[in-house]
Chain A
Amino acid sequence: TQLLEQSPQFLSIQEGENLTVYCNSSSVFSSLQWYRQEPGEGPVLLVTVVTGGEVKKLKRLTFQFGDARKDSSLHITAAQPGDTGLYLCAGASNSGYALNFGKGTSLLVTP
């Protein structure tokens, strides 16, 4: 099993602040996905990054895949209370479709 370490584990910030969460591994992934999970729901895909060094933007969210395809980051600009949730990174190996999930970063944005 390829391990994904996410940091920080918990993050509590005020509305309008910026934040970055990290996803690191010693393994190379063919792709890496970021999901957001709200209480009582299943994870929902935010983005998939495939190419080393790739940067994708989704409104106020910026995702980056490391050059070596072992790590990724998620940066949120001007966080809003609606961004509150559990952010999970998941890596896909070259061998198939299964995903290995990190433990997640629990984000709380207060007004």
Chain B
Amino acid sequence: EAGVAQSPRYKIIEKRQSVAFWCNPISGHATLYWYQQILGQGPKLLIQFQNNGVVDDSQLPKDRFSAERLKGVDSTLKIQPAKLEDSAVYLCASSLDRLPSNEQFFGPGTRLTVL
């Protein structure tokens, strides 16, 4: 079974530029998550989709971050314009939505450096 795919793996941009990340979840997983992981910290949920609808985006900085999940499969996360504090690893995860033990499967992440 193929895992969660993410691209690119690394991205370096200057502040005020734009960047987009792509995620392809495990086939059949209805729920998709984007997390931000700053160095030395645990992942912080940015947005959660169930199929193509947003379940939770309460921690997404909506003035600069946006995300979409077209057709309930792939997803893109965009930052426009980027700030220095956006430097982090952006992780995508997907799950089958089986409570109470809902295992999330993570991709390798995209490491973003904002200069």
Contacts and interface: CB of A to CB of B under 8 A. Distances in A.
Given A30-B100, A42-B91, A43-B106, A98 B48 contact: yes
Contacts of A64: none
A37 B104 CA distance: 13
Contacts of A41: 108-109
B12 interface: no
Interface in B65-115: 91, 93, 95, 97, 99-109, 111
A96 B108 contact: no
Interface string B31-43: 1010100001111
A99 interface: yes
Interface of A: 1, 4, 6, 30-31, 33, 40-45, 48, 50, 88, 90, 92, 96-104
Interface string B50-69: 00000110010000000000
B100 A45 contact: no
26 contacts: A1-B59, A6-B42, A33-B103, A40-B108, A40-B109, A40-B111, A41-B108, A42-B91, A42-B108, A43-B43, A43-B91, A45-B104, A45-B105, A50-B101, A88-B43, A97-B31, A97-B48, A97-B95, A97-B97, A98-B33, A98-B45, A98-B56, A99-B104, A103-B40, A103-B41, A103-B42
A50 B41 CA distance: 25
Given A97-B99, A98-B33, 13 more contacts: A30-B100, A31-B99, A31-B101, A40-B111, A42-B4, A42-B93, A43-B106, A44-B106, A97-B31, A98-B55, A102-B42, A103-B40, A103-B42
